[in-house]
Structure 1
Amino acid sequence: MTDQITLGRYLFEKIKEAGVNSVFGVPGDFNLALLDHIKEVENLRWVGNANELNAGYEADGYSRINGFSCIITTFGVGELSAINAIAGSYAEHIPLIHIVGMPSILAEEKKLLLHHTLGDSKFDDFIQMSEKVSGKLKVLTNLESAPKIINDLIETSILTKRPVYLGFPSNFSDSLIPSSTINNLKLNLKFSQNIKTDEDEFVENIINLIQISKNPIILVDACASRHAVTDQVNQLAKITKFPVFTTPMGKSSFNEDSDEYYGIYVGELSSPDVKELVESTDCILSIGGLLSDFNTGSFSYSYTTNNVVEFHSNYCKFKRATYENLKMNGALINLVSKLLNLNLNFENKFKPPPSKFDYQSAKICPTGPLTQDYMWKKLSYFLKENDIIVTETGTSSFGILSTHFPKNVKAISQVLWGSIGFSLPAAVGAGFAADDLKKFDPNHPERRVILFIGDGSLQLTVQAISDACRWNIKPYIFVLNNNGYTIEKLIHGPTESYNNIQPWNHQIILDLFANKASYESLTVKTCKELDDLYNCEKFNNPDKIRLIELMLDEFDAPETLKLQAKLSDKINSA
């Protein structure tokens, strides 16, 4: 390395230092000079997407597996095409950096009437649009301060689990800085510690509470996984033997083969045995809660106790007392440590509810057409340890609640933001992450990526299949062909034309996109055909990209979705 390097190279060296090996995005004239420097960083891959929205969704999926990701777009038209995906990442606590190639400093100073602007000679219009969906937003204006700004944005994103925005003027890409800056400015990714007195008080209050409680439980939600405290949650459950329930967004955040796992709580939509156990408890340890409508059965939680302890990424609550800036990662480590030292000998007082084992009914294959109920329960037997399962907003995200997950299965869905079409590119992004992790660590387990998406949702982002084929990413793409937007039909307008779609011939989609990639297209119409497919040794080997069309009745849907749809329609019309 010479005495000087370009700022463009510095940026990508730091992206690589943060653990990223694949960069998503679309080229545009304001970022082209910057893209030249990706190839200067060893083992850093430019994916190159067909559109910015898919690039954003793929970066989201990549980050959920890898822990951080990067997307690059161009000023105006590019960044706005990606902003829906970035907003979803913000809502769902997904860390990534959105780098926007911007006009040069000189062009801004002279207020040139450039393309991709609103014709007003302003260069901050789009920055303001991104501000609300960015954990931190910076535009480089000074070469000297640029390296520290880049580091700060990456650190902020990873530590807060939010997307950040970096405006990168086109004339800065080739600007030179001392090469020593790379080693002198290392990323600092260590969490700041909690104020010890606050943390100790909070933990002591919890210990006193659970010692006098008769039937405490643990409720695990999405942010336990997003903010990487699942190991601490597992330790807490093993020490206390408290029953553990997850929310829909929290599914895969706790080992479902564990003796402590009792099922999914969704308020009124829960199975009766789960609902009774959760709502009759006298103490709830709630970890990483994200209490959105679809995550809570339209806000139908009905606790009978006020003894609720909440663990969050940037604050914690003990009953009605809020501990500002107290982070759950430190608090949980402290709690587990103190409980181990106390050796309180907790006992498990309850048997797992029968609904925990509902999936076992799929051992017997019924005759006749494929049904949602059988499909989701039978999936329990197809999944393997370390699989990545991605589900679309709609029947898939509700149906998957009936599936039993083996150990270390990772679930990806977008229950809160709920942008239709998210899941296909997210699955492709997760495939890139799994590919990178295996490529650079031979000991890393091979991970299959398995997607379930509706025929309507597929039409929004189908070009993501092209990205997978380009780089030989091999997801299983299960397409639920139920003749349109079933979730919308269940909520409102079951026979209205606005819930219909133009039917596609799904069996020739891979013919269009695959080119030289190895692929297979299949159709499943009956329970027996699905059974045979899951039992096929060749099918279980993820050696090619597969599209499996599942033929389902138009109004066949998971029972929880049918109930949720009624609640949603009631709320929408209130």
Structure 2
Amino acid sequence: MKITIGAFLLQQLRALRIRHLYGVPGDYNLALLELIEHDASVEFIGNCNELNAAYAADGYARLNGAGALITTYGVGDLAALSGIAGAYAESAPVICLAGTPPLHAMKNRALVHHSLADGNFDNVMNCFKQFTVAQALITPENAANEIPRVLSTGWQQKKPVYLQLPSDIHNFEIEVDDFLPLRLPCSDPQKLRMAAAALLQRIQQAQRPMILIDQMVDRFRLQPLVLAVAHKFAIPLTNMPTAKCVIPESTPGWQGGYSGDLSSPALFEKLAQADCVLSFGTRLVDSTTGYFSQQIPMQAVVDIQPYSLRLDGTLYPTVTTADVLQTLLELAEETNAPAQAVLPKAQRRLAIPSDTALDQAYFWQRINHFIQADDVLVVENGTSGAAVGAMRMPDGITVVNQPIWGSIGYTLPALLGTLMAAPARRQLLFIGDGSFQFTAQEVSTLLRCNLKPIIFLINNEGYTIERYILGELSSYNDIGSWDYAKLPAVLNHQATPFCVAVETSQQLEMALEQASRQDRLAFIEVKLPMMDAPSAMKEFCQRCNRFNFGQHDPQPGA
């Protein structure tokens, strides 16, 4: 059938269930934005800058399965590149759509604005090749094949992709056969049977098996199958910090979160003594292992990746994890595996609110009681990440964070994406003052779109995590002193957000009660002592200092 390139692109995005596109208008992308303006099935959300748009598309992808942003060429897409790199590191399928100069200008190497004025149009594409799994410059000749190829590659690999869209091609008609198929690659039947049989034998031989999950289980929506395997074979489970709440923490057999020797001693020992570890996409990163303090016997690891399985030195390629687990369950005979216990939840009595100054311990203990089942928690790195990571959560919680790429300021624009991807769920943001100053202007977009999260601004007067790493009193860890609670109202004079600053537990209690009753954005500035921090974060910072500056002499030539 015949269809214009612009209409075909929008149909492909709809096939990925993308209904909101983030970005910033620029002269090279206006033709595409004009198409969106008159298409009721998709909505363009204008951001304050392209980096924030990339973060918003990332947050949208975490809950929706895919997200997209629109930029102009050069100044726009390169401004978004750190956000695209973060999406790659954290396995978020984000589509970056860059409007470029018209095709005739690119073919003739014209010296145009938003370029280096040297006729080179390969340099920006070469940058994106380092941080995306598929890229293409779309032309009338290749659009019918390249648009589906690039988008399906990103969806299948759960990584970002990049399309350059010349400004003069959107109304060009092309012939297309079909729309984007949302399916994973097919497993090789023979390799699938071999892989599942080998895995079954390995599990049956194990005396001390464990399941270790990472982001992959969430991104590929594998939770039901992983839980079925754990139940079928009575295998205890744990998760990396990057997979916080990917499985319910009330799951029988769940042992708590694993982060090397910063985990509970019982869990650390259990994983160190395991003779079979079903490892689902696990990446042992400094920030998630207590600086490489993990002790996992590598000979026990069954490395399960999205499209392969490695077991006892044998690689089984071209098999999907979902197919392997489903076949494993079908091959297994009925067993009388003992029921696993639910990890006991520590009972801590909350202190009575008073007029004494707030501290980290009380604040996070109170927040643990405030969080409800099915909430979405968007959590910045730093004291917030450390505190939320240590909490025992109710069922149905989704945690959105960026512990690997660790770009501070990510969470506020990401919240814009998560709110639009899951509008029926209550959403809480925990962000530090230093991080907030990076991307604060996106509060104006939240207000313009009439979104209603509860935002907790942790004001501890600067970069506390950096102070604990190095330079406690150094000026480079200081930031400007903002009146945070007054800022949201300034950013949209037509909105009436609920804003309050709290310094005592009594004030916090009143603010939480009021915020819960609001049908509008709630913004709570929480004033805490500068050097007050969760103990886990303090230990992590000491290890970071030793790793970065201490025990290792630079190697000549390194």
The correspondence for 2:240, drawn from 222, 244, 247, is 247
**What CA RMSD, in Å, does the superposition of the two structures yield over aligned residues?**
1.9
CA gap 1:305/1:123 in 2 versus in 1, 3 angstroms? closer
Cα deviation code 1:218-277 (max 9, x no counterpart): 112111112221121122222223221111111011111222222111101112232223
Contact 1:220 1:254 in 2 (8 A): no
Distance 2:349 2:105 in 1: 64
**What fraction of aligned residue pairs are identical, expressed as a percent?**
33
- Confirm or deny that 1:24 pairs with 2:22: yes
TM-score (norm 1): 0.91
Which segment drifts farther, 329-338 or 99-108? 329-338
Quote the residue 1:440 is aligned against.
none
2:400 to 412, 416, 428: 412
Q: Work out which of the residue numbers 479, 489, 504 in structure 1 matches 2:467.
A: 489
- CA-to-aligned-CA distance 1:19-47 (integer Å, 9 cap, x gap): 01111010111111111101332231110
Q: Per the alignment, do residues 542 and 232 of structure 1 end up closer, same or farther by CA in structure 2, a change over 3 Å counting? A: farther
Q: How does 1:348-497 map to 2 (within 5 A)?
A: 348=339, 357-358=345-346, 360-365=347-352, 368-435=356-423, 446-497=424-475
Aligned to 1:148: 145
Mapped to 2, the partners of 1:361 and 1:41 lie a distance apart of 53
Query: Equivalents in 1 of 2:297, 2:16: separation in Å?
Result: 45
The CA distance in 2 between the partners of 1:46 and 1:385, in whole Å, is: 31
> Are the aligned partners of 2:251 and 2:342 in contact in 1 as well (CA < 8 Å)?
no
> How far apart in 2 are the matches of 1:321 and 1:363?
52
The 3 A distance-change label for structure 1 pair 233 and 316 is same
Contact 2:185 2:320 in 1 (8 A): no
Give distance in 2, aligned partners of 1:542 and 1:314: 46
Task: Give the drift of 1:542.
Answer: 5.8
SS of 1:47 mapped into structure 2 = strand
Please tell me whether the aligned partners of residues 211 and 278 of structure 2 are also in contact (alpha carbons under 8 angstroms).
yes
Deviation at 1:95, TM superposition (A): 0.6
Q: Which amino acid aligns with 1:346?
A: A
- Distance in 2 between residues matched to 1:333 and 1:133, nearest whole Å: 32
Distance (whole Å) between structure 2 residues aligned to residue 468 and residue 570 of structure 1: 40
Query: Would the alpha carbon gap of residues 518 and 404 (structure 1) be closer, same or farther in structure 2, given more than 3 Å must change?
Result: farther
Secondary structure, counterpart of 2:377 in structure 1: strand
Q: Deviations over 1:171-229 (max 9, x none)?
A: 10222335xx4xx4121111122222322222222222222322322112111112221
Does residue 195 (structure 1) correspond to residue 188 (structure 2)? The answer is: yes
Matched, 1:539 2:537: no
Q: Could you give the per-residue CA deviations for residues 483-521 of structure 1, whole angstroms, max 9, x where no partner exists?
A: 101111111111111111011100111111233234111
Moved more, 372-381 or 8-17: 372-381
SS in structure 2 opposite 1:36?
helix
The Cα shift of 1:463 comes to 1.3
Contact 1:282-1:305 at 8 Å conserved across structures: no
Task: Sort the Cα spacing of 1:69 and 1:466 in 2 relative to 1 into closer, same or farther, 3 A.
Answer: same
Change (3 A) 1:186 1:504: same
CA contact (8 A) 2:498 2:518 kept: no
Moved more, 490-499 or 202-211: 202-211
- State how far apart, in whole Å, the 2-side matches of 1:480 and 1:370 are: 11
Q: Within the alignment, does 1:37 sit opposite 2:28 as a pair?
A: no
Whole-Å separation in 1 of the counterparts to 2:87 and 2:503: 35
SS across alignment from 1:123: coil
Instruction: Report how many residues are paired.
Output: 549
Q: Select the residue among 85, 92, 101 that pairs with 1:87.
A: 85
- TM (norm. structure 2) is 0.94
Q: CA deviation at 1:352?
A: 5.4
**Structure 1 unaligned regions, length at least 5:** 436-445
Among 251, 267, 278, which residue is 2:260 paired with?
A: 267
Q: Distance in 2 between matches of 1:305 and 1:148?
A: 42
Amino acid at match of 1:166: L
Tell whether 2:226 aligns with 1:233: yes
Change over 3 Å in CA distance of 1:541–1:328 after alignment to 2? farther
Is the 1:283–1:307 contact (alpha carbons within 8 Å) kept by the matching residues of 2? yes
Tell me which residue corresponds to 2:541: 565
Distance in 2 (alpha carbons) for counterparts of 1:333 and 1:377: 40
Describe the superposition over 1:418-465 as per-residue Cα deviations: whole angstroms up to 9, x where unpaired. 011101111111112123xxxxxxxxxx20111100000000011111
Equivalent positions of 1:278-357 (< 5 A) are 278-304=271-297, 306-339=299-332, 342-348=333-339, 357=345
Contact 1:98–1:164 (CA<8 Å) still a contact in 2?
A: yes
Q: Which moved more, 1:61-70 or 1:230-239?
A: 230-239
Distance 2:48 2:415 in 1: 16
Aligned to 1:175: 172
Amino acid at match of 1:188: P
